[in-house]
Structure 1
Amino acid sequence: MNITFIGGLFPDENMDFFRTHSKGIFQYAADVLQKNIIKGLENNVNQAINVITVPFLGDFPKACDLKVVNEEKWQNKGGQIHQVGFKNIKFLNEFSKYNALKKALENQFVKEKNEVDTIVIYGMFSYFLKLTAYIKKVLPDVKICMIVPDLPHLMGADNNKPHIKLYNTYTKSVVNRNIKHIDSYIFLSKYMEDYLNTNKPFDIIEGIYNTNEKNITESKEVLPTIFYSGTLALRYGIERLLESFASIKNDELRLWICGAGDGEEMVKEYSKKDNRIIFKGQLDRSEILKLQRKATLLINPRDGKDEFTKYSFPSKTIEYLSSGTPTILYKLKGIPEEYYDYCYTCDSDGYEGLRDTIIEVLDISKDERDIMGERAKKFILNNKNETVQSGKIIKLIKTLS
């Protein structure tokens, strides 16, 4: 089975380079998920996966200081990672990425005649959707599996802004024109299938655990420490977390926060007023994983009131539970029900509800909390690892032949 993966991961050789040139949010979660998918595919087919990537960088000049991304290629365990080159200027980069991807496909599969049975594409971006038409034109027998981590109109931007509305209209037209070329789907939430209203085969992969992380061990903090890592978005409940923590009268309690986003200034303001709140900025993923294991309690303050939570699965859910550190979550429609057997949930509204849940969980004996954390870790390790989850893609591909 000859599989090519097309996505936006950062090649390991350029990870530090892209991180240095990025401003604000860096797409760690998307990068990790793509690499886990590829690793799982390779485990299932026992051969290297050909990778073509157009790194998910922010636009120049606001979110990245790279005006141009250079083309580069690496050999990887018998396979190739091809980073296409493109102009990274806002609005123009959409067309530049499409042309670069088209050229890469033409060189690899038309001119060089490399073998390919299936192309797995990560993300419903306009340049990927337009690429499906080209694939079917030059490689009509190749099957396309589209991984949908986010719906196009819910990719984090402010949909009330005129230029975002215009862009969403454009993207919707691209989806409508090209969705017929996609043969199968992988969704992160079952509700995505209802929204796209497709009759094509699909399966659900809400997230993937990387088994390389199972050997990370750290000693616990002496003081009770709550930890949040991820996008500091106001719509993700960061203000509710800050308010709930600030209202707890316990001088020994600590709150660590890592990340970047539109709630960053608010976090800094709270940390100035309350020395128990420690803002650590945007750290390397390896440091995040260590801090998760050192903490007493992990928390995701995102509640299920907003419509977008139906179509998303917070990547930190698997990351948190796999750490072995007890976790508090809200119940979100996009999180499968089975996960809630392995965490504590906040079922009350407002910052008071979250505050009370934190206090209740901290009042549970350490032994009981440790049992919950270990159960969660085993659940993720055994059921959500890269081989099990990516195996769903292989099964889906086989139904198309």
Structure 2
Amino acid sequence: MKVLFLGYAVNRETASQLYGASVAGNKMQVNVLEQLAKYSDMDLKCITIYPVAAYPNGKLVIERERICLFDSFYSLKIGFLNLPILKQVYETFSTYFEGKRLIKKYKIKTIFTFNMFPEIGLPAKWLKKKYGCNIVTLLADLPVDDTVGRKGISKVLRRIFDYLTGKGITLCDKIITLNKYAIQLFAPDKPYIVMEGGLDSRDINEIPVKTSAEKNLVYSGALVEYSGIMNLIKAMGYIEDKEAILNIYGSGQITEYVAQCAEKMDNVRYWGKIDNNSIKRIQSEAYLLINPRPVDNLISKVTFPSKIFEYMVSGTPVLTTRLNGFTEEYYDKMFFVENNEPMELAGKINEIMGLPSSDLEKKASLAREFVLENKTWEKQCKKIYEFIKKEV
């Protein structure tokens, strides 16, 4: 089976250093490609739109070249002029012409995309119309604006971006979604499977013996409003155990707010963004890991928290809001709170801190075993492979 992948994949080292790249999104793409490439009947060709910020934060000219994603697997990185707005135009047409060349040369009939943003969705649409290709998309990100207070031309451009993305989704023949509610909202009549994400074998550490008695609560991830971190910080004002400390790791739109709170509050500390190996160690040594996303936020309703499997395999118990992406199989593996209001979060944290250590260890062990048995990329990509092959 010959498949053309359109996405933003670069090798892991590049993603960790590249300004503008999503490390979590890149991990998903590379892990999926790495697993699919293992199937002997899967002939994968790959095009990469280099995930770099526009000039002057990134280079002015992005050159066309072959890049190695892993082992001996290569992708064609398209070339484009990296100026705001012009960048997207160049990316769109470069992706189309490179895709056209590969489809003609290798007689490809299936296009597999990472999301359907216009620079990928439009070329996929044109290629489908010209060559009759089927489009399968891995819908990790949706046309939902996560930026508060967008104004002027930025607001207009974002509306166009979301409109084109939404139209692109409706043109797909099959959809792989992180959350079934995204299908109900954007493409209710399309065949789909749910694949929440996966666990990279590189993220599996041996569980250390916890020697510290510190009540260190940990949040790691994006510092944006929809992450719920602002309410979690407020919740620390209601924590009864004065030895409990909330340690925050990450960066984003509200970094300054988080840093200011940490300066004012005795039980909140902000450590900035740190490397993946260090954060895995910190997670495994923590007392409790917290995912405080608001349950009623639109992004939360149609996505799945990418860091949750990393949390669950750490050997540390997890507290999360009851997002609709968590099906019943997750209910006994983590602690849940019904919403992320500060008093609700604080009440649940206080309750957990009153439990015996044996209860915490049991919860953490159940979560780890569940992920290792069911949510590795090898297991998740088998579903993707079978779905791509399946006739609709």
Contact 2:203 2:310 in 1 (8 A): no
Instruction: Indicate how the Cα distance of structure 1 residues 347 and 137 shifts in structure 2: closer, same or farther if over 3 A, else same.
Output: closer
**For residue 302 of structure 1, what is the aligned residue in structure 2?**
293
Please, which of 25, 31, 45 is the counterpart of residue 30 of structure 1?
Answer: 25
SS in 2 for 1:215: coil
Shift, 1:145, TM fit:
0.4
Give per-residue Cα distances to partners, 1:88-123, cap 9 Å, x unaligned: 32222211111221232234333xx13534221001
Please point out which of 65, 71, 74 is paired with 1:72. 65
Question: Secondary structure of 1:281's match?
Answer: coil
Look up the equivalent residue of 2:78 and give its one-letter code: V
What is aligned with 1:5?
5
| Matched residue type, 2:119 | Y
C-alpha displacement of 1:211: 2.4
Within 5 A, what are the aligned runs for 1:171-320? 171-175=161-165, 178-179=168-169, 181-220=171-210, 221-320=212-311
Residue of structure 2 in register with 1:399 after alignment = 390
TM-score normalised to structure 2 length: 0.90
What CA distance in whole angstroms lies between the structure 2 residues aligned with 1:284 and 1:177? 37
Aligned length: 390
- Give how far 1:47 is off: 5.9
Cα distance, 1:118–1:271 mapped onto 2, change above 3 Å: same
Aligned residue for 2:331, secondary structure, equals helix
Q: Is there any run of 5+ residues in structure 2 with no aligned partner, and where? A: none
Of stretches 155-164 and 381-390 in structure 1, the one that deviates more from structure 2 is 155-164
Q: Cα offset for 1:156? A: 2.0
Task: Rate the CA distance shift 1:49–1:285 in 2: closer, same or farther, 3 A.
Answer: farther
In the alignment, the residues of structure 1 paired with residue 325 and residue 151 of structure 2 have an alpha-carbon distance, to the nearest angstrom, of 26
Equivalent position amino acid for 1:213 in 2: D
Answering whether residue 353 of structure 2 is matched by residue 362 of structure 1, we say yes
TM-score in terms of structure 1 length: 0.88
Match in the other structure for 1:157? 147
C-alpha change, 1:71 and 1:17, in structure 2 (3 Å) is: farther
2:199 aligned counterpart, secondary structure: coil
Offset of residue 374 of structure 1: 1.0
Give the distance between the partners of 1:346 and 1:176, measured in 2 at CA. 32
Kindly tell me: are residues 101 and 369 of structure 1, through their superposed partners in 2, closer, same or farther at Cα, counting changes over 3 Å? same
Q: Is the partner of 1:394 in helix, strand or coil?
A: helix
Kindly indicate whether the alpha-carbon contact (under 8 Å) linking 2:177 and 2:192 is maintained by their aligned counterparts in 1: yes
Partner residue in 1 for 2:46: 51
Cα displacement (A) at 1:201: 1.5
Distance change >3 Å, CA 365–CA 179, structure 1 → 2: closer
Which residue in the other structure is 2:98 paired with?
Answer: 104
Identical amino acids, percent of aligned pairs: 26
Alpha-carbon separation, structure 2, partners of 1:297 and 1:310: 24
Change (3 A) 1:168 1:224: same
Whether the 8 Å contact between 1:211 and 1:381 is mirrored in structure 2 is: no
**Structure 1 176/28 Cα, relative in aligned 2: closer, same or farther at 3 Å?**
closer
Q: Tell me the secondary structure at the aligned position of residue 204 of structure 2.
A: helix
DSSP-derived class of the 1:341 partner: coil
Secondary structure at the counterpart of residue 274 of structure 2: coil
Distance 1:88 1:217 in 2: 44
Structure 1 pair 351–134 and aligned structure 2 pair: CA distance change class (3 A) = same
Which 10-residue stretch deviates more, 352-361 or 196-205?
196-205
> Over residues 327-350 of structure 1, what are the superposed CA-to-partner deviations in whole Å (9 max), with x where a residue is unaligned?
000111233332222100113662
Verify the 8 A CA contact 2:6 2:114 in the aligned structure 1: yes
Post-superposition shift, 1:13? 5.3
Q: Which residue of 2 aligns with 1:88?
A: 82
Question: Structure 2: how far apart are the matches of 1:189 and 1:180?
Answer: 17
Compute the displacement of 1:250 (Å): 3.6
Which segment drifts farther, 69-78 or 290-299?
69-78
Query: In the aligned structure 1, how far is the partner of 2:275 from the partner of 2:367?
Result: 24
Assess if the C-alpha contact under 8 Å between 2:170 and 2:186 holds in 1.
no
